[in-house]
Amino acid sequence: MYQLGIVKRNIQRADRSAVDQLANFGSATVHEAMGRLGLMKPYLRPIYAGAHVAGTAVTVLLHPGDNWMMHVAAEQIREGDVVVAAVTADCTDGFFGDLLATSFQARGARGLIIDAGVRDIKDLTAMGFPVWSKAISAKGTIKATLGSVNITVVCAGAVVHAGDVIVADDDGVVVVPAALAQQTADAAAVREANEAAKRAKFAVGVLGLDLYDMRGTLAKAGLKYID
Amino acid sequence: MYQLGIVKRNIQRADRSAVDQLANFGSATVHEAMGRLGLMKPYLRPIYAGAHVAGTAVTVLLHPGDNWMMHVAAEQIREGDVVVAAVTADCTDGFFGDLLATSFQARGARGLIIDAGVRDIKDLTAMGFPVWSKAISAKGTIKATLGSVNITVVCAGAVVHAGDVIVADDDGVVVVPAALAQQTADAAAVREANEAAKRAKFAVGVLGLDLYDMRGTLAKAGLKYID
Amino acid sequence: MYQLGIVKRNIQRADRSAVDQLANFGSATVHEAMGRLGLMKPYLRPIYAGAHVAGTAVTVLLHPGDNWMMHVAAEQIREGDVVVAAVTADCTDGFFGDLLATSFQARGARGLIIDAGVRDIKDLTAMGFPVWSKAISAKGTIKATLGSVNITVVCAGAVVHAGDVIVADDDGVVVVPAALAQQTADAAAVREANEAAKRAKFAVGVLGLDLYDMRGTLAKAGLKYID
Amino acid sequence: MYQLGIVKRNIQRADRSAVDQLANFGSATVHEAMGRLGLMKPYLRPIYAGAHVAGTAVTVLLHPGDNWMMHVAAEQIREGDVVVAAVTADCTDGFFGDLLATSFQARGARGLIIDAGVRDIKDLTAMGFPVWSKAISAKGTIKATLGSVNITVVCAGAVVHAGDVIVADDDGVVVVPAALAQQTADAAAVREANEAAKRAKFAVGVLGLDLYDMRGTLAKAGLKYID
Amino acid sequence: MYQLGIVKRNIQRADRSAVDQLANFGSATVHEAMGRLGLMKPYLRPIYAGAHVAGTAVTVLLHPGDNWMMHVAAEQIREGDVVVAAVTADCTDGFFGDLLATSFQARGARGLIIDAGVRDIKDLTAMGFPVWSKAISAKGTIKATLGSVNITVVCAGAVVHAGDVIVADDDGVVVVPAALAQQTADAAAVREANEAAKRAKFAVGVLGLDLYDMRGTLAKAGLKYID
Amino acid sequence: MYQLGIVKRNIQRADRSAVDQLANFGSATVHEAMGRLGLMKPYLRPIYAGAHVAGTAVTVLLHPGDNWMMHVAAEQIREGDVVVAAVTADCTDGFFGDLLATSFQARGARGLIIDAGVRDIKDLTAMGFPVWSKAISAKGTIKATLGSVNITVVCAGAVVHAGDVIVADDDGVVVVPAALAQQTADAAAVREANEAAKRAKFAVGVLGLDLYDMRGTLAKAGLKYID
């Protein structure tokens, strides 16, 4: 009835400059800069440590056990995109492996976020193509059912519109709505600047109790010290 | 009544040459070559990255919290075997550590697949003895109850007969019935050959849509492109 | 009514010498030396491989989504402590990141055990500050509700009193009551000594069946060998 | 930055007549009528068997362990609404009990869908106030952090806009976008009509193989019968 | 390559008289009579309380999200069968609802065991058609991929051959190999007879310590009583 | 080394009058009266709806798959006790069934809380012997390893000392330290009295916003209403 069997070709990608600025920050900083919103669930994990990408979302909606739309999505990828794959029901199958990764990478994709499984992880690691997934599984898929590309999806608990910014690192995956990309980058920069100063103080033994001036509030809340 | 307290000494191991051929392929390729069958559940994970083994199964059925039969199994190991340990109920205890690994390795085992927990993983990693398990746990076990060795077991959702071929890598664990070892190796070789050609095309930007000639089928299924 | 809003300043830490001895043993050995008790649940995993710490517990009780008490706990840390954080209900938020780690490390903490989530894991790894957690999550927390510091807590299924010894490595986390520290260290040393001899025998092919003299007991229990 | 601390007072509720029509169908039928879309994850379960409601969504976004916004949401409820509560991170606390249920019911709410825990279930059952939740937990919550009311949320994997139709029964919970309410009701009616005829045939032993004329397709796909 | 796309028409069902005898015992008793083997995992739960069936297995192997083979299986059902449905990968979709239940019931099936989801549970309950499943989900499935009927499958961790006896009640589901049906029924009868006498003694306050003469063994094992 | 193989015969049970008063309150009320502490994890569920018990804890520590100590515990039960069973590692086996229930009930036990599985639930329901467990499983156990009775245990995340008060109902299980029984009962009574008045107001449409005077605090926190 709606949304299945559709490919949106012209999507409004977030401003490239803002995306590049967001690439300087980790997912935790970006999520805080968003007002503590926009995170995908923590069950999504990178297939190798140390990957850190920012890019614009090409979304794909899949059915359990069926990766047909991944090939349809490949054509919509432009340089700097990150593919975000949602599934209509829980599934851990390996929807994606080294062949699709070769294709995605050749089209300019910086990574894949998938609310399901992935395989060929040794190859993907060697290729430097990062994937955040909820499972690693050798289980293959079929190509029989239509999903959609570039519609709004829910991936690991977060709403993603085509063109939104994805920032992913060892801590997780955060989605920044395209319209908020620049202001989020600005807020993240402010936050990061503040943190450097704090880190220096913590390193010489200053306590958060004093740095954040918490002792009064804690006492007022009723905290009691016992010897 | 049946199957507990039994050790089968003479088992029909899969043909060694076929096993060696299967060792050239990943679990995903072998599973596809089997008609997308034979995989253990993806909750089994290797204790370190990069391990890749193929071998013939020596099976052992354990009870929760009791690893007595592991010692019985050790005697049945021959060069080139992989031990496959099932448990009669869900348990995450560490049934296996560096002492048993030393014994298994000395007997010629190439690795362990266990539907439970393992411990001493730093030592096992240093020894190069790979284990695929569902948990890592320091919890020890007792030696009080009889299980069996080399009976047919269910391990992580897959049926394993003693002598079947086990192929395990970063993507998971697949079981090939002994009688199908050679034909599976042949099918895997064909599949792998095809993939190399496809990979080269994907790498220069050819789309799966064209390589697999999907556009017509997708249109017929009702896929619509929207600008 | 009880236990919330309390900070115990003077706690009885386990004997330093015993702690240092325990640092020589893995969590599996210590747990066995305790009579197979004291382990936290295996869902706690280290954020990087190879970490191995022993220290005295500073405990903190948190509420879901609120890390206020972490700052209160920081002040109670002394050289050689390990912070043990429990939460009053299941939560995977990232209660701890690189700023708090800088503070804890400056105060002398050797690591953190947390029955919840942690973030900034790339930074924590670079700093060499090990954390055992049940999740990795970029999700931040607020500072609004009083918990307690150095009360007795339940962390990942184990009771921890302030001052108890924590031993943590790749296999998991074990708690040794302060009063039992020395006798546990002694028992661990005996156990470890025995294991070296056994390992040498296993390495040359001796079977556990013979080393532990199990054949008679197995036969008596009814084990049957079938050809 | 965006979306937190907001209450939308004027929302576009789905057409009442369409909602009432949808109330005649189960969640499975409605989901099929939507093209197999719109379902929340199956971990949401009703607190008692037999409840079946349809209503318009008043949405609320909560933080873990904090139910403050539930009281804000209560004021926005009109006769025929169903409250849909999302949380910014996984949490099983009991955000809702008999007092809030009394308030919601007095305001005209037909039920609650919550991606977290609920308590006082004996009372809620006696009151006939149905709740679909992911947990039952006596754990209480605090009132300290702003969320929002009537913004778009993700609840148990599904996007819900204020005013959308919620249909919930023993099989689960489905969301129908307000704009699609009437056409979904029409499609559901057609589907249900077809099912009655089929049921009668199945009841006298007609096979789906014949009723759906599958034998040819199955044979063409390669199905083989073996005696 | 093997096992997919096959329907075995002639299967060796367990002896009807033995099945009828087994119907008198609960799953716990039967599993004990088997030597504590044969149970499916406890995540399988009945959709309503109080159901208790025994029957001969018609097996079906499905793919995730695809219930095509259910219709193929229907034709193979005879009076007194229980259908056992396995899936090649984890999936919670609702593969089965009231239409298929009407068909299965008309063919003589006594129930369904499915390692996946089921829907229309209100109707199934009203019809008195019991289902043991791992999920309840309104999510529908497609009909696109061949599985098999009456091959050996693994369902919820247990091996099931076509014709084996299934005994299912509120405590779970147990599989009795067809060849062991009569001896298991006999052993269950002996066990049940013994239990009645024990129950009477327990009811008047006799302790298991005395009834089973455990005091000596416990003391020998080192049990100490402290006042 | 410590705690295993011990039975404490003389335990300090909470005051009977306080226990009887606590029996008038649900687990949610008692937990709130304790300062939102003392709850077991919500994965513990009653085997039938509507049970509500309060009693003094007899504790038992079991090993996975071994229920030997249950018989030792039976002898320590007095009228009005509730048995609390912990296990040294995660296990879902059915440690308890109708025979032990008959024995426990004859000794005066009001129920069982077990951090593992239970079986014979139809019989237990018919007997009116309530059990809160984390699983229902027909899987039986052996009698081979010593645990302890009436030592301090951790059950489903909560510390329980022998003699503490257990209050369990449809919402969960809460532990009240024996020394706090009377003051918790008093606090619960106050709380309950307050709730009745509030309920009456909510029932006629008064909002929590007004009843709790939240509008000012919400505005101060920054809540904005949008039309």
Instruction: Express each pLDDT in C168-224 by its tens digit.
Output: 999 999 999 999 999 999 999 999 999 989 999 999 999 999 999 999 999 999 999
* CB–CB contact C2 F37 (8 Å): yes
Q: Which two tokens stand for residue C93?
A: 């938020």
**C23 to chain F, closest Cα gap in Å:** 19
A95: exposed, middle or buried (C-beta count within 10 Å: 0-12, 13-18, 19+)?
buried
Q: Which helix (H) or strand (E) holds E18?
A: helix E16-22
Please report the pLDDT score of residue C34 as a whole number. 93
d(CA B179, CA A150): 46
CB atoms closer than 10 angstroms to residue B221: 13
For residue E222, give the chain F residue with the closest CA.
Answer: F5
**F97 to chain E, closest Cα gap in Å:** 9
pTM: 0.96
Phi then psi dihedrals of residue A166, to 5 deg: -110, 125
Looking at this protein, which amino acid is placed at residue C93?
D
Average pLDDT of adjacent 10-residue blocks, chain F of 227 residues: 84 97 97 94 97 98 95 98 96 96 98 98 98 97 94 97 98 97 97 92 96 96 95
Instruction: Tell me if A146 sits within 8 A of B221, measured CB to CB.
Output: yes
Query: Crossing angle for the helix pair A68-76 and A98-107, nearest 10 degrees?
Result: 20
d(CA A100, CA B209): 11
* CB–CB contact F120 E26 (8 Å): yes
- Spell out which residues of chain C touch residue A169, defining contact as CB-CB under 8 Å: 122
Please report the pLDDT score of residue A2 as a whole number. 52
CB atoms closer than 10 angstroms to residue B124: 25
Instruction: Tell me if F119 sits within 8 A of F96, measured CB to CB.
Output: yes
Q: What residues contact D131, with CB distance under 8 A and at least 6 apart?
A: D46, D47, D96, D101, D111, D112, D113, D114, D118, D121, D124
CB atoms closer than 10 angstroms to residue E177: 19
* CB–CB contact B35 E4 (8 Å): yes
pLDDT in tens, E40-93: 999 999 999 999 999 999 999 999 999 999 999 999 999 999 999 999 999 999
For residue A4, give the chain B residue with the closest CA.
Answer: B223
For residue A184, give the chain D residue with the closest CA.
Answer: D1
For residue C63, give the chain D residue with the closest CA.
Answer: D65
- Spell out which residues of chain F touch residue D162, defining contact as CB-CB under 8 Å: none
Which of E102, E92, E109 shows the shortest CA–CA distance to E123?
A: E102
Instruction: Tell me if E222 sits within 8 A of F7, measured CB to CB.
Output: no
A10: exposed, middle or buried (C-beta count within 10 Å: 0-12, 13-18, 19+)?
exposed
- Spell out which residues of chain E touch residue B35, defining contact as CB-CB under 8 Å: 1-4
Phi then psi dihedrals of residue E92, to 5 deg: -110, 10
The share of chain C scoring above pLDDT 70, in percent, equals 99
A67: exposed, middle or buried (C-beta count within 10 Å: 0-12, 13-18, 19+)?
buried
DSSP string, D88-127: SS----B---HHHHHHHHHHT---EEEEEEE--HHHHHHH
CB atoms closer than 10 angstroms to residue A9: 11
Q: Which two tokens stand for residue E155?
A: 């369902």
Beta bridge partners of A146: none
DSSP string, C48-63: STT--EEEEEEEEEEB
d(CA C27, CA C21): 13
> Integer distance in angstroms from the first to the last C-alpha of chain D?
68
pLDDT grade for D1, boundaries at 50, 70 and 90: very low
Q: Which two tokens stand for residue D184?
A: 């979904």
d(CA A92, CA A157): 16
Instruction: Tell me if C38 sits within 8 A of F5, measured CB to CB.
Output: no
d(CA B54, CA B168): 7
Interface test with F, best of B61, B88, B93, B95 (most F CBs within 10 A): B93
A227: exposed, middle or buried (C-beta count within 10 Å: 0-12, 13-18, 19+)?
exposed
- Spell out which residues of chain E touch residue F107, defining contact as CB-CB under 8 Å: 205
Instruction: Tell me if E34 sits within 8 A of E22, measured CB to CB.
Output: no
SS3 label, residue F71: helix
CB atoms closer than 10 angstroms to residue E219: 11
C-alpha to C-alpha distances, C26 to C50, C51, D43, E223, F66, nearest whole angstrom:
11, 11, 39, 29, 27
Query: Which one-letter DSSP state was computed for residue A63?
Result: B
SS3 label, residue A194: helix
Please report the pLDDT score of residue C178 as a whole number. 97
d(CA B92, CA B64): 8
Half-sphere exposure of F93 (CA within 13 A, CB side): 28
* CB–CB contact E7 D225 (8 Å): yes
Please report the pLDDT score of residue C114 as a whole number. 98
Dihedral angle sign, alpha carbons of residues B7, B11, B17, B21: negative
Query: Crossing angle for the helix pair C181-203 and B98-107, nearest 10 degrees?
Result: 0
E222: left (phi over 0), alpha (psi -120 to 50) or beta: left
* CB–CB contact C26 B136 (8 Å): no
Please report the pLDDT score of residue F2 as a whole number. 53
- Spell out which residues of chain C touch residue D88, defining contact as CB-CB under 8 Å: 139
**In the block, residue with structure tokens 């020394």:** F179
pLDDT in tens, A38-68: 999 999 999 999 999 999 999 999 999 999 9
Judged against a pLDDT cut of 50, whether residue D68 lies above it is answered with yes
DSSP string, E31-63: HHHTTS--BPPTT-EESSTT--EEEEEEEEEEB
DSSP string, C202-224: HHTT--HHHHTT-HHHHHHHT-E
Phi then psi dihedrals of residue F142, to 5 deg: -105, 180
Query: Crossing angle for the helix pair F98-107 and E181-203, nearest 10 degrees?
Result: 0
Query: Which one-letter DSSP state was computed for residue F151?
Result: S
Dihedral angle sign, alpha carbons of residues A178, A183, A186, A188: negative
DSSP string, D168-213: EETTEEEEE-GGGHHHHHHHHHHHHHHHHHHHHHHHTT--HHHHTT
Instruction: Tell me if F122 sits within 8 A of E50, measured CB to CB.
Output: yes
Judged against a pLDDT cut of 70, whether residue D2 lies above it is answered with no
d(CA D64, CA D117): 11
Instruction: Tell me if D82 sits within 8 A of D55, measured CB to CB.
Output: yes
SS3 label, residue C102: helix
List chains touching F (3+ CB pairs under 8 A): B, C, D, E
d(CA F41, CA F28): 13
Please report the pLDDT score of residue C2 as a whole number. 52
Please report the pLDDT score of residue A1 as a whole number. 39
Residues of chain B scoring pLDDT < 50: 1
d(CA F51, CA F172): 11
Query: What is the interface size between A and C, counted as CB pairs within 8 Å?
Result: 107
d(CA F78, CA F93): 26
Residues of chain A scoring pLDDT < 50: 1
Query: Which one-letter DSSP state was computed for residue F100?
Result: H
List chains touching B (3+ CB pairs under 8 A): A, C, E, F
The per-residue b/e assignment along C13-46, b for 16 or more CB within 10 angstroms, e otherwise, is bbbeebbebbbebbbbbbbbbbbbbbbbbbbbbb
SS3 label, residue C46: strand
Beta bridge partners of A87: A62
Query: Which one-letter DSSP state was computed for residue D44?
Result: -
CB atoms closer than 10 angstroms to residue D115: 27
d(CA A4, CA D184): 15
Report the DSSP pairing between strands F148-149 and A172-176: unpaired
E21: left (phi over 0), alpha (psi -120 to 50) or beta: alpha
Q: Which two tokens stand for residue F150?
A: 């009436």
**pLDDT tens digits in sequence order for chain E, 227 residues long:** 358 899 999 999 999 999 999 999 999 999 999 989 999 999 999 999 999 999 999 999 999 999 999 999 999 999 999 999 999 999 999 999 999 999 999 999 999 999 999 999 999 999 999 999 999 999 999 999 999 999 999 999 999 999 999 999 999 999 999 999 999 999 999 999 999 899 999 999 999 999 999 999 999 999 999 98
For residue A90, give the chain D residue with the closest CA.
Answer: D41
Q: Which helix (H) or strand (E) holds B115?
A: strand B112-118
